[in-house]
Structure formats: C-alpha cells, structure tokens
Chains A and B, each alone.
Chain A
Amino acid sequence: MLDIYHVGKTYPNGVRALDGVSLTVNLGEIVVVVGGSGCGKSTLLRLVCGLDAPTDGSIRLDGTLIRAPHEKIGIVFQEPRLLPWLSVARNVGFGLEDRPRPERASRVAAQLARVGLTDKAQVWPRELSGGQAQRVALSRALVTRPEVLLLDEPFSALDAFTRVDLQDHLLDLWADQRPTLLVVTHDVDEAIVLGDRILVMRARPGRVAEEIVIDLPRPRDRQSAAFDFAKRRVLNALDHSLNRGARTGEAETVLDEGAARWW
C-alpha cells in the first residue's frame, strides 16, 4: 500500500509546487492524476519515486518511508530515456545487473516477448520507433517486478494510434503482475481508460481538487455512453480546478478532441 500523507514540496526558488497532498493507493489499484500544467502532478511522481524529497509530509510504501529511490518502485518517464549505448535487451536488463546472468537473460527474453519486441533484442535504441522505445522503457521498469509503477505522461509524445495501442498494452501488462499504477497524464481519455480513480489537481499550490471514481468494467469501450459521461465529469472537475465555470455545452463539444485536450 502506497501512503502519501500531507505531502508538500517547496523548491529552493520559493515555488510551492505541492501543498498538503494526501492519497492512499492500494496494491493493484490504478490511480490517474490529471491537471493543468504547473499543478505539481509531475512533482508528485518525482517525490514518490524518491528522485526528490518532500519538504513536509511523508510517503510510505508498506510502512517504509520513501526518501530515495526504492527497489519496489519503478518509473516510466515521458521520454523513453533508454541508454543509447546499450542494446535493447541490455536496456531492459539494466535493473537486473545483480542477478546471475542466466536469470537475467531469461527474464529479459520473457519480458521482450511479452511486449512483442523479441526481434529487436540486439538492436540499438536509435533504431526503434517512438512506440517501440516506450515499450522497451516499460519493459525495463516492469522486469524488476516493482510493486508500484509510476508513469509520468508516458504516452504523450506518441501519435494518437500508437497511444491508444500502448494504453491497451499497458492494461494487458498490468493484468499479469497487478502492480499499483500511479499515472500522470493530461489526456482525459487516457485517464478514463486506465484509472480506477482519477485525481484532479489544481495549481498554485498544487493540491488535489477532486477525486472521481471510475467504476466501469475493463476493457473499457472508448465509444460508450458511460465513457462519455465519465469524461464529462472529469472535464467539469478540470474546469473547476482551473477556476472556469462548469461546462454547459452539449456532449458533442466535450467529445471534440481539441476541446478535450486544449489546455
């Protein structure tokens, strides 16, 4: 269980990025954080994975205080961040260096097979497409079997088709090991496809404005009326968080891709 308790972060330049954020994520749950830019959602992930330390409050995983990177917490960044001098297979096995070679090899092979990239094992990262590279990054994070996987706008740099593909793929992988997922995104569709719960954050200082439970069964139909309804709730909450009036338009305006993503 991941327990984020009254966490605040003030940067040395005086910016208050997060203020009193509390959140409990149960094992195997998928929580998605959405919010306008500058609402501290990426800061929150950096704190949870131990890259930065909170100025107040605490983050605990199963009772252990998180102040530095922890072996049970993995992260996938917006960019794949593969090491360009390692083959795809060695990138995936990067976190398994302390394991005996045969174990490493078999786990890497299995993981690559799982994401459909067995034929790319010996290739340099530069030869991968954006979607393939992000699948490798996902594999690198998953192969160590983390209890918590953090994803910081993991698919935002990909084209729309690849993005939908990878969202489904992520859910597929999640079903294998059922890690806890904490996902940051600015894509409302993505949030609803993935999340059990959606946290809407507001900026200056970053805090949780609203929590929306999505209890649609998986796999979720992106075209269904229930999906639209959930989407409207999230968009309304976002408008609130940005101090705009509630959305009054028809469902059509809400569905419009531009309107849904324009901030």
Chain B
Amino acid sequence: MTASVDDSPVQVAPRHRLGRWTRPALGLLLPLALAVLWELAVRLGLSNGRLVPPPSVIFTTFSDLWQTGELQAHALTTLWRVAAGFAGGVAAGTVLGALAGYSGLLHRLVDPTLQALRSIPSIAWVPLFILWFGIFEASKIILIAVGVFFPVYLGVMGAVISVDRKIVEVGRVFRLSAFGMIRRILLPAVLPAYVIALRAGLGLGWMFVVAAEFLGASQGLGFLLVDGQQLGKPAQIVAAIVAFAILGKLTDWLIVAATTPLLRWQDVYGAEHQDS
C-alpha cells in the first residue's frame, strides 16, 4: 500500500488530498444543514424553540454549565463510574471468556449459565442491585460492569475458540508451554476481536451509566438529564447529551488509538479505509 503510493506520487497524491478533505466534510453536511435550518426557523419565528432549543441556545447552556464548572464535575463523576464499571466488566469478561474458550470442560460448565443470564435485560437487575449494594456508587458500578461483561465475554470466548488450528500447530511444533502458547499465539491472534469486544463493551458501559444515574443520583451527566426534565430545561438535556456524545466518542477513540499500533499486521479489507 505504502509502496504503491511511493511509486507513483504524482498520480495518487491529488486524489488522496481531495479524499482527505471531502470525506469528513460529506459526513458533516447533513447535521450542519439541519442545525442551520432549525436555527433559522427559530430566528424567523416559525417556532418558539422551547421544547427543541436551537443550536445557539444549546451552545450558551453548554458554555454556562462549563464556566460554572458544573459540567466538568458531572462529567467526571460519570466518567469515573464508567471507568470503574468498565474495568470490572472487562476483567471478569476477559478471564471467564478466555477460560471458556480455552477449556472445553469450563465452557460446558460456565457458558450455559452465563448465556442464560445474558438473556435477562440488565436493567432488570437494578432493583435487586439496589437492595444488595445500596443506592450509592456500588450498585451503579456493578450495573455498568454487568453491561460491559457480556460483550467482552462473548467476544473473547468466540475469538479464542476460532483461533486457526494451523497456527496453533505451529506453536505445538515449536514445543511452546501452555503459557507460551497463550502469550505468543493465542493472545496476538485474538487481539483484533478483543478490541472490537472492548469497544462494544464500552458502548454498553455508556448506555448503562445513564440507566444507573437515572435511579437516584445527585451527580453525573445522567442526573443532568433527569434534572433538565424535571425543571423543564431541554437545553440542559441536550447539552448533557452532547457531553455524552463527546465523551463516548473520545473514550472509543482512546481504545482505537491505543490498539492500532498493535494491529498494523492485519491483512484485512478495512486496513485500506483506516490508512486514508
């Protein structure tokens, strides 16, 4: 890929440059157009914008919340909950997923139970978690961890089971120990699927933090949502949603950025998209 670009820079470069700027711009076109149209509609008096505030009002609310430091405080609380729940869910999902993938016996022992538990909508646990762990941080973090656990568990287990037998045989021919097999063959082989599982888990983590914060929180972005609803401040709700979007995207990007250097070897269709 790099070679072909180096070989013929004159032919490839112009198309490349065009692509670099037009592609993101195309994606922005629709939301920007909608925002501008709505702003105009409110300015021209076609709507009062009370229930659906125009972009300018949202921006003002956002920066007001930021300047008072409220937004940062709420965001940090939420971020901490997601981080703690994510860490717990990933740790449990990785260990159990790896074991259930590695050992047929453990798979038969553990997997049916976990699959049954998975079919319970995780929110249904909330009353029980509150009874067990109280209404403060513990129950929230555990709910998030449960949400993160299942995609990670499934991803890791599936990846370990589907590691290419032929590659494993290479490890056997070189007489790797069980530990060596895990470190030098299985781990690198499952890494691409693991990254996808982590991202799916993180997405669910953000979903469940909202659910957790709906249920009796006095801090956090989810609380801002409920507060905005109860006090009739739609701009605050949208500002909190925007904050969620930014944080969600940012943390997802962090995972991608941290793992991309480890996955450069992949010979996949997607690699061409990521390079450009």
Contacts and interface: CB of A to CB of B under 8 A. Distances in A.
Interface string B57-99: 0000000000000000000000000000000000000000000
B17 interface: no
Contacts of A85: 188-189, 191, 265
A84 B172 contact: no
Contacts of B267: 84, 124-126
B166 A74 contact: no
B188 A69 contact: no
A51 B191 CA distance: 26
Contact of B174 (A69, A79, A86): A69
Given A51-B173, A69-B174, A75-B173, A81 B167 contact: yes
B172 A51 contact: yes
Interface string B142-186: 000000000000000000000000110110111100001000110
Contacts of A81: 166-167, 169-170
A94 B175 CA distance: 11
Nearest to B174: A95
Contacts of A203: none
Interface residues of A, number: 22
A77 B166 contact: yes
Contacts of B169: 51, 77, 81
Interface in A73-91: 74-75, 77, 79, 81, 83-86
A97 B175 CA distance: 11
A49 interface: yes
Q: Which of B166, B170, B266 has the most CB of A within 10 A?
A: B170
B273 interface: no
A95 B174 CA distance: 6
Interface in A27-86: 49-51, 68-71, 74-75, 77, 79, 81, 83-86
Nearest to B191: A85
A69 B265 contact: no
Contacts of A71: 175
A85 B267 CA distance: 10
A109 to B, nearest CB: 20
A83 B191 CA distance: 13
Interface in A157-200: none
Contacts of A79: 166
A48 B124 CA distance: 57
B265 A84 contact: yes
B188 A83 contact: yes
Contacts of B167: 81, 83
A125 B188 CA distance: 15
B15 interface: no
A30 B191 CA distance: 41
A79 B267 CA distance: 16
Given A81-B170, A85-B189, 10 more contacts: A49-B173, A50-B173, A51-B169, A69-B175, A71-B175, A75-B173, A84-B267, A86-B265, A124-B267, A126-B266
Interface of A: 49-51, 68-71, 74-75, 77, 79, 81, 83-86, 94-95, 97, 124-126
8 contacts: A49-B173, A51-B169, A69-B174, A71-B175, A74-B173, A84-B266, A86-B265, A97-B184
